[in-house]
Chains A and B, each alone.
Chain A
Amino acid sequence: DAKTTQPPSMDCAEGRAANLPCNHSTISGNEYVYWYRQIHSQGPQYIIHGLKNNETNEMASLIITEDRKSSTLILPHATLRDTAVYYCIVRVADTGNQFYFGTGTSLTVIP
């Protein structure tokens, strides 16, 4: 079962930063935070993941609070192509590799 809580929907103006929150208050010390997105009906796409340090890659930044009970995915300059459903997942590495997806946040980037 999904162990994360996300707002069902958000809007963001094109060119602005999109900040997508996720609560994972019951996260364990060995659980990673992963973010995926699904554009329309395509297969989900990996964005980023982290354990406790903030992470950045070419797609996004992941900010994890010090107590690890919540995180924020930041898309620094949202484009129309970033309109998608964004999923936050917590998972222990190498436990049969279960990824349980919740309902996610539907992000709409507005021109």
Chain B
Amino acid sequence: DTAVSQTPKYLVTQMGNDKSIKCEQNLGHDTMYWYKQDSKKFLKIMFSYNNKELIINETVPNRFSPKSPDKAHLNLHINSLELGDSAVYFCASSLRGYTGELFFGEGSRLTVL
């Protein structure tokens, strides 16, 4: 069983399109995140949700809209895709109130042409 799973793993699309990446965790965690890793390999947090509520929203264009239908899912929708959105997007989860670790998914590589 995959603990944190993301779909799709690869996504190639044209500028201006709208796309979504889905994330699910089966660890019973209450906090989920989206990270973006650009071509320079810098891993930057974008959003964090705890019990379906947004708790971190870093400086991210409002074309990015996370949605958490329940504690086990955090989806990322991106409107009007731009070339600079090309990156690997990682979903992660953790248990708030515990000092423990983040569990990451395998990443979704988005290429905008």
Could you list which residues of chain A lie within 8 angstroms of chain B, going by C-beta atoms? 32, 34, 36, 38, 41-46, 49, 51, 85, 87, 93-94, 96-101, 103
B63 within 8 A of A: no
Instruction: Note all chain B residues with C-beta closer than 8 A to A34.
Output: 101
Query: How many residues of chain B have a CB within 8 Å of chain A?
Result: 30
Given A96-B56, A101-B44, A42 and B99 contact (CB-CB distance below 8 Å): no
The chain A residue sitting closest to B94, CB to CB, is: A97
Closest Cβ of chain A to B40, distance in Å, is: 9
Q: Is the CB–CB distance between B45 and A100 below 8 Å?
A: yes
B107 and A32 within 8 A (CB): no
Minimal beta-carbon separation of B26 from chain A (angstroms): 15
List of B residues within 8 angstroms of A41 by Cβ: 88, 107, 109
> Which residues 86-113 of B have a CB within 8 angstroms of A?
88, 90, 92, 94, 96-107, 109
Interface check B31, CB cutoff 8 A: yes
Task: State how many angstroms separate the Cβ of B92 from the closest Cβ of chain A.
Answer: 8
Q: Would you call B50 an interface residue if the criterion is a C-beta within 8 Å of the partner chain's C-beta atoms?
A: yes
In the complex, A44→B33 CA distance in Å? 13
| Other-chain residue from B41, B48, B98, B100 in contact with A98 (beta carbon distance below 8 A) | B48
Given contacts A43-B105, A96-B55, A100-B45, contact A32 B50 (CB under 8 A): no
Instruction: Given A43-B4, A43-B90, A43-B107, verify A97-B96 contact (CB < 8 Å).
Output: yes
| Chain A hits for B97, CB < 8 A | 94
| CB <8 Å contact, B50 and A96 | yes
Nearest Cβ on chain B to A73's Cβ, whole angstroms: 14
